[in-house]
Structures are given as structure tokens and as C-alpha cells.
Amino acid sequence: MQRTSYSSRLILGLSLSLATALPMMGQDAGAATAAASPSAQASTPSPAKSQTPEGAPAAAVPASASAAEAAPVKVENRFEPVVSLEHPVASPGFSFEDARRAPIFGTPAYFERALGRHEVKVEIQPTRGFEDYVVDKKLRLTLPSYLDLVLANNTGIALQKVLLETPKNAIQRAMAFLDPTVNTNFRATRSETPATSQLEGAGVVSTLTQPSSLNYQQTFLSGTQVTVGTNVNRTSSNNQFLTFNPGLNTSFQVDVTQPLLRGRGTAVNRLPILIARNALKTNEFQFENQVTQLLSQAETAYWDYLEARENLRVQEAALNLRDASLKRAQRELELGAIPELDIFQPQADFAQAQVNLTQARFRLARTEDNLRQQMGIDLNPTMRALPIEFTDTIAPPSGAETIDREAMVEQALHSRPDLLAQRQQLLGNEYSLRSASNAMRPNLSLNLRYSGAGRGGDFLDRDTGQIARQIGLWSAYGDSLAFNFPTYSFALQLQLPLRDRRAAADYADSLVQKKSTMLQIRQLEQSVRLDVLNAINNLDASKESVRLASIARDFAQKRLEAEQKKYDLGTTTLFFLQSAQTDLITADQRVVTERINYNRNRLNMLRLTGTLLNERGVVLR
């Protein structure tokens, strides 16, 4: 009965000790969080967007005279990226923020996470937003609405957004060393050994040992590690010479370890967190660059479609022109106005016009399929077959716009996301260099320990063998907490490598990485400058080509009219009339091609200067 009573009290004491330590854990965890919060707020990466320093000259972005000047597209970098759609889909049943959240012990969320069943159904959200643009069983779009659907449903953009969550997880992983831990242990051991001496108090010594421990450990940003622990050991035996039987040995100790060289101070221990946050910022710039590339590809597909559509219109007009010419030639042949051999040229031209029209139709179909993939409508079985109709027209470029070449280069140097990512990486190299420098220091640490002991149990009178007095668990534990029987210790531990090649090599690698990043930035700045200047030259050349192609088309139209009048008067042959028709068709195609090339070159210039997202009204958050 006494053993049962002591076991019950022992378990109750451990429970109460655990209950006493848990509030301390919560307070320390809160303190650690509070200590990390200012730096976290100060180092929180800003949204990935184009940055232009104050005082920089304003870049002269040429005003578009095409469909790109329509209303901007508003996009947010969230799981529901498009805010302009009227019917967003439901959430997929989880969020990455919830998955990253680490609940504190004692809260319902902690026990649900630790003991519950983790059945998260990961799904890909369906495409949406197309119903808003269906008119007369056609998907009627403009450039802004098309880009709106691309940003909402493009699989490549969605993939890049998901990959951006990994560096966010790395930040939380870097802060894991600040998380407090509690370790508890209980063991019961029964042993029976034959006596080897009469002083052992029994022929067969039977001993029951029940040690238990509870330890709380916390590491702070300064590198200080604090361990608070308590131990209770209950022993009972049939040894008649024991003073306490059953006996209780209790202890309470506080250990503080502080690094003095390597790993000392908040500045050093925050480096892994700063490196993780810098990596997130770098990935945000890379994400912006990827979105820019994907958006440029999508808009290029849009201009390919408009070129194919206008080319089809030109080929239809050419077929009508060839058809009218063939009918006129056939009529003249019937009247005997032309020889029979002259009919073959109009027939051949008409057949070639039919071939060109067929090829133009198939080309338009291919560009439509590309548009469907960019918008993600090919994933929607109920709407993928809808014909696409763009209401935009291809307007000629404005002749009054001027481009400041140096201002555009300066804009690109301040806004290109790939260049900003490299500069951000340079800051990460600096953090890595500091970490490598810290690893070269000797490992010298100071340890302070202060502990108290207590003794309890049934005190036996050796003369009578009866219990003289009882010292309970809490009395013995009170002696430990009051440090009535204290133990002090002071220790210095030094780990001094006589030669540390690994640390020296890591430090040299950090220097190499920083220098290589600086050279990569210089190389990229040179490439950016050259790319922007080439883009401006191509844009100016396209503008001039559009002007000259329009003039050539006007002359081709006048020549055809002149050849038609001459043919009506009988002063020229059918060959020269057919040649004039061919020149007009070629001139029409040239005008379409040059106008499309101008818009492509302008798109390329916006991409190379890092202003495409801003120009299209895309906001990443």
C-alpha cells in the first residue's frame, strides 16, 4: 500500500511539475518570438515590383497607338490572382500559410497537428472567367481581357507562384533553433541480486528504482542556451540497513551556456534568418522575371493571332481580286479579245490565291490553338471549342513619339527583375561571408550551473525498524527549489582547431562567390544596356518600315488603278495588270507584317526595360 501511495504521489508530482514548466515555456517562446519580431518586420521583403530610385530621370516610354493602350489588367500575387473576374472559384481546401503555421503547445491546433490525422486533399483549381466574355457563342476579347485570363489560368504562372512558397518555408526553418523544447522521461526498474555481504541487509536484495526527469531548453538570438530541469528518483528495497526506505532523491538545476567567440551575439545568430529572407527576396525578383517572360510570350501569341487574322483578310481580298480578273479574262476569251494562251496566267494566279487563302486559314487556326493554351481554355472541355474573336485593330504607330535612349537604359538598370535578383544575391553573398568568418573562430563557451538537492521518503528507526517520520515528495522537492543543499559549478570549454582547412576553404568559397556575383552583375548591366539600345533601334526601324510600307502600298494601289485604265483602253497587256495586282497584294501583306513587327518590337522593348508589367497594369503582391 505504501508503494502504491508513493507511486501515485510521484506521478502527481511529475504532472504538477510539468504544469509548472509549461507556462514558463510559453513565456520563453513568446519572448523569443518578440525578440525575433522586430528584425522580422524590418527585414520583411517588399513586394516584387519594378523599383526606380528617387531622382532618376523619367524614361520616355513610347506611347502605343495599337490595342495595347486599352484598360490595364489588375493582378495580385495571391492564390486568387485576378481581382477583376466576377466569378472566382472556391479555395482548394488549404492554404500554404496554414501549412506553415506552427502552433504552440497547449492550443487545440497543436494537438490537432500532433495527434490528428493529416488528410489534406491537394487539388488544382479549375480554369475560370471565360463565361464573362462569351458573346453570341464566341469568346470576344481585347488585349486586356486576354491578359486577364492568361494571368488567371496560365499553368506556367501558377507553377511559378507555387514554387515561390519554398523560400518562405525556408525562413521558418531558419528560425527553428529558437523553438523551445521539453524533454520528459520516466522509467521503472525491478532488480533482484544475491547478497555478497551481510551489510547488504538481505540474502536476496530486491530493489525497485523509478527515476523521472523533466527538462526545458531554450536558445536565444544572443546564442545563450538555458536549460531548466528537475529529477525525481524513488527507490525501495528490502535492505534493512537503508535509512530511507522507500527513499526519494530530488534535484532542480539551471544550466546557462554562452558562446564567447564562435556564435556569440545577435548579429551572428540572425545570419541564417537574414540569408533565408534574402533568398525569398531574390526568388520574388526571379518570379517577377518569370511572369514577365510568360506574359511576353502570351502577348506575342496575341500579335501572332492578329497577324494571321489580318493576313487572312489580305488573302481573301487577293482571292476576290484574282477571281474578278479571271472572270474578266474568261469573258474576253469568249469574245475573242485575247488569245487562248493568255488565259493560263489568270487561272494560275487564281489557283495560287486559293492556296494562299487555305494556308492563311490553317495558320490562323494554329495561332488560335496557341491562344487557347496561353489562356488555359484548352483545359475546359465545355468552352475549348468556342471560336475566338478579338475586337482590337492594328493601328499605325504615332509619328510624334521620341525615345530618350539613355533614360531608357537607366530605367532598365533600375527596373529589370533579373538584374535586381543578382543585386539581391550579392547581399546574400555578404551574409554568407559573415557566416563563414564566424565559423573560423575558436569555439569558446562559458557554462554556469546552479542546482539544489532534496531527500525524502520513510525514515526508519534502526532499533525498532518502524517508520520514525515521513518526508513527503513536496518537502523534498521544496528543499531542491529552495537550494537548501546547493551545488555551484563554473566551466570554460575551448575547442581550438590547430588547423581548420574546411573553414578556410568555406571562407574562400564565399569570397569567390561574392566576386563572381559582382562580375555577373557588371556583365548583366552591359548586356542590359546593349539589349535596350538594340531594342530602341529595332523599334525605330520598325516605325520607319511601317511608314515606308504604307507609302509603297499607296503606290501599288495607284499603279494597279493605272494599269487597269490602260488595260481598259487596250494600251497594255493582261500580264502587266496581273503583275500590278501581285504587287498590291504583296504591299498589303508588307503593311500588316511591319505593323505587327512594330508592336512586337515595342513589346520586346518594354520587356527589356523591365516596365512590361507596369505598362500592362499587372501588380504582383
Write down the mean pLDDT value for the chain. 81
In sequence order, the β-bridge partners of residue 459 are: 244, 469
For residues 223-250, average pLDDT: 86
Taking only the tens place, the pLDDT of each residue in 282-328 is 999 999 999 999 999 999 999 999 999 999 999 999 999 999 989 98
CA distance 85 to 72: 13
Identify the DSSP state of 301: H
Looking up cell 520583411 gives 44
User: C-alpha cell of 461?
Assistant: 528507526
- At what angle are helices 473-481 and 2-42 packed, to 10 degrees? 40
Looking up cell 498590291 gives 584
| pLDDT over 70 percentage in the chain | 81
CA distance 51 to 34: 31
For residue 72, what pLDDT band results from cuts at 50, 70 and 90? very low
Residue 40 has pLDDT above 70, yes or no: no
Report the relative pairing of strands 388-390 and 138-141 from DSSP bridges: parallel
DSSP-based three-state secondary structure for 457: strand
Identify the DSSP state of 104: P
Return the closest-CA partner of residue 51 out of 237, 280, 288, 224: 288
Report the relative pairing of strands 443-460 and 244-259 from DSSP bridges: antiparallel
CA distance 591 to 581: 15
CA distance 408 to 57: 9
pLDDT, position 94: 53
Q: How many CB atoms lie within 10 A of CB 70?
A: 17
pLDDT, position 200: 65
pLDDT, position 15: 36
Taking only the tens place, the pLDDT of each residue in 514-524 is 999 999 999 99
Residue 10 has pLDDT above 60, yes or no: no
* Cβ pair 75, 129 in contact under 8 A: no
Please state the pTM of the whole predicted model: 0.76
